[in-house]
Chain A
Amino acid sequence: MPPAVFPGKAEVRSRSRHLMITAETQSRSADDARRAAQMAAAQSGDRAAYEALLRDCVPFISVIAGRQGVPPDRRDDVVQDVLLTIHRARQTYDPTRSFNAWLRVIAERRAIDLLRQVRRHGARELHAPVAFESYPDHGADPARGVEHAQTSGRVKDALANLPAGQREAVEALVLREQSLAEASITTRRSKSALKVNLHRALKALRGKLERTE
């Protein structure tokens, strides 16, 4: 009886590796065939198959974008771009060919497009938070608040010295921003009287303020 031949450690490792690779290839091709069938169904208008396929593609696209060097915060942009491209280009896919290969090329190209865009964007913009914080705001004048208070005080004085009818018209129509109809109810004056009073009040205010300046 011939002695039983037991495989050595190295041989077992090599055989199991071979089996793993075979299994991986088979599962990969099965995966590819499923996606190709889903895309063919999508070409004939099967919405469920199409949405399932797109959902299935998202992690695949993200991995490819990462391999192309797209930073993690930009990978979602590549995914969106690729999903849109699949939609736009779905009539160009030939189901007899590999879907994964088709998708990989599209994803790589979109990733490169995005990287170019980011680089162009980066070349135009400068990240300088200190410069931003220390940038002088010409509109922010410390004396402006005082000046504003003085002006409003002068307007208040001028307004107080107006006849009652004119003052009421300015308060209702300008300061409270009421409509003519609303103002005529609150002041119990006619619309035309309000208009005349406002016109006279503004003319008087203009004259008074010009004199005080």
Chain B
Amino acid sequence: MTSRHESLIRSLGSDLKPVQRLRPPALRALGWLAIVGALAVALAAFANTHAMWERVTAAPDMWLAVIGSTATAVLAGIAAFELSLPDAPRGWAWLPLPGALLWIGASGFGCLRVWVVPAAHVAELSEARDCLLFIIALSVPLSALLLLMLRRACPLNPGLTAAIGGLAVAAAAATLLNFFHPYDAAATDLTVHAFAVALVVGINRALGGQIFSLAGVTAGRLPPN
């Protein structure tokens, strides 16, 4: 063994402190989802839940889209916590796919419907902009919380982990948007939602990689020869 390894091992040994083992990833994901659930309950207090219920149950594509976005948030949340472990298989990234397909499919089919559901109207561009702002504003605290929770593990795929975490956040924010979204499915609204989700995923991927790197999880440093 080279003296280089020996000196590193000694310095790591001197830095050793007792650590608390991480709980199983699914359990940690449930912790984050519980906080999202608590936020949903708090937001419901300010929303017209009766009108929301009427709107969502009026057409199958409306409630299927809500189930899809909820499933995406749950599955992507679990996948992000699984991926944050250093030995996690990358296949976990596919876990949110069924939820995402249902969400995108149902929202897309909603645009093809020729009648407008009761207690709703087609969003104008300024209203669609409010949707964008709502998703982004809600994503900031949810992302910060998720990235901090994920940081405790040691993701060796920081970009992928943060991107899937971003998907969980964006899907959760889009689900919570339903409380304040008296609009029917329409192409403009759908485009704005897709843009907001892509933006949140992209920002999470970029910032998440940085945050995990600051935690000392930089990949492939090349020491000078």
Enumerate chain A interface residues (CB-CB to B < 8 A): 42-45, 47, 50-51, 54-55, 58, 76-77, 79-81, 83-85, 87-94, 101-102, 105-106, 109-110, 113-114, 116-118, 121
Contacts and interface: CB of A to CB of B under 8 A. Distances in A.
Nearest to A109: B156
Nearest to A74: B222
B60 interface: no
Nearest to A51: B13
A105 B87 contact: yes
B28 to A, nearest CB: 11
A50 B13 contact: yes
Nearest to A43: B19
Interface of B: 1-2, 4-6, 8-10, 12-22, 85-87, 152-154, 156-157, 215-217, 219-223
B87 A80 contact: no
B188 to A, nearest CB: 41
A20 to B, nearest CB: 29
B222 A88 contact: no
24 contacts: A47-B14, A51-B12, A55-B9, A77-B222, A79-B5, A83-B9, A84-B12, A84-B216, A85-B86, A87-B15, A87-B16, A88-B154, A88-B216, A92-B22, A92-B153, A105-B87, A106-B86, A109-B156, A109-B157, A110-B220, A113-B220, A114-B222, A116-B220, A121-B222
Given A51-B10, A91-B20, A91-B21, 18 more contacts: A45-B16, A45-B18, A47-B13, A51-B9, A54-B13, A58-B1, A76-B4, A80-B223, A83-B5, A87-B16, A89-B153, A91-B152, A92-B21, A92-B85, A92-B154, A102-B86, A109-B157, A117-B222
Contacts of B18: 43-45
